[in-house]
Amino acid sequence: MPDTTAPAPVELVDLTDPADLTRLHSDVLAPSFPPAELMDLDDLLAGCASGELYALGVIRDGRVVAGAVGTGSAPGGVVLLVYLAIAPGERGGGIGAALLDGAVSRWVAAHSPAYVLAEVEHPEHHTASVEHGDPVARLRFYARHGAQLLAVPYFQPGMGPGAPRVPALLLVTLHVDDSVRAGSPGPGGRERVSAPPLRDFLEANLRGSEGSLRDDAATRALLDSVAGAWVDLVPPERLADVPVGLLPES
């Protein structure tokens, strides 16, 4: 007979205890992200202690099996979903969907941001792997939750001064407040959203991650894409319409 057992309910908890955060890092984040995209445990602990970062997770049988980490708290600004991951062997049962929806709804209620954003690897520039997942599947997952793509050539800043950047990432919207939506479509009929909060976020993210705002081709292209009043939102099926943040820099 087919298995008709209902999946276990997904209970989300705030992760504040250093022991739980350590388990999140070692059991969930480290197996899910390549080293260039993974913050140090000390940075995770310090960020959560200071309130700069906040973590939400799923604990089962004393184990942290999934987690979401966010940053950004200024009303009208940007909250960034830094990480969303599930421990190996724990995927399925709706954990990822419940965690994403729960994180976005909690963070919107707590911080009143203009945007909630996430970073996603561009599926045409990053390959799938058993360890780190499939960029195509990941983009589809976010698309099912209403994500759209910002038309900016995004890359992940280095995890510290002199650390390597990660090229060809997509910056996707998980929440857009009505106050930053344009009242009319732009050229080509695309929806447009306000650029100034995005530029403020990108500049602060670069400075905070790399220690300064570097003057190179990749940085200039990224900031130039948000220099005007509006930025286009692109549906995921129109991926080819999004500029790609390629490196090396010049």
Q: What is the per-residue pLDDT across 181-237, written as a single tens digit (0 to 9) for each?
A: 998 888 888 999 999 999 999 999 999 999 999 999 999 999 999 999 999 999 999
Superfamily grouping for domain 1-112: Gcn5-related N-acetyltransferase (GNAT) (3.40.630.30)
Q: By three-state DSSP, how is residue 98 classified?
A: helix
Residue 8, pLDDT > 70, answer no
pLDDT band with cut points at 50, 70 and 90 for residue 24: very high
Q: How many CB atoms lie under 10 A from the CB of residue 101?
A: 15
Specify the range with the lowest mean pLDDT, choosing from 9-13, 26-30, 58-62. 9-13
What value does the mean pLDDT take over residues 129-137? 85
Please count the other Cβ atoms lying within 10 Å of the Cβ belonging to residue 181.
14
* Cβ count near 71 (within 10 Å): 18
Asked if 226 and 195 touch (Cβ cutoff 8 Å), the reply is yes
pLDDT of res. 159: 92
Angle between helices 95-111 and 135-144 (to 10 degrees): 60
Confidence band of 18 (pLDDT split at 50, 70, 90) = very high
pLDDT, tens digit, 9 for 90 and up, residues 33-49: 989 899 999 999 999 99
Angle at which helix 217-224 crosses helix 196-210, to 10 degrees, equals: 160
What SS3 class is residue 29?
A: helix
From CA 221, how far away is CA 88, in angstroms rounded?
37
- Residue 19 sits at φ, ψ, to 5 deg, of -65, -45
Q: What is the pLDDT of residue 249?
A: 59
Average pLDDT, the chain: 93
- In this prediction, residue 168 carries a pLDDT of 97
247: which strand partners?
Answer: none
Q: In the chain, which segments carry CATH 3.40.630.30?
A: 1-112
How many C-beta atoms surround the C-beta of residue 147 within 10 A? 23
Hey, what's the torsion of the CAs at 28, 34, 36, 40, to 10 degrees? Answer: 20
Q: Are 63 and 22 in contact (CB under 8 A)?
A: no
The pLDDT of residue 166 is 94
What is the per-residue pLDDT for 10? 84
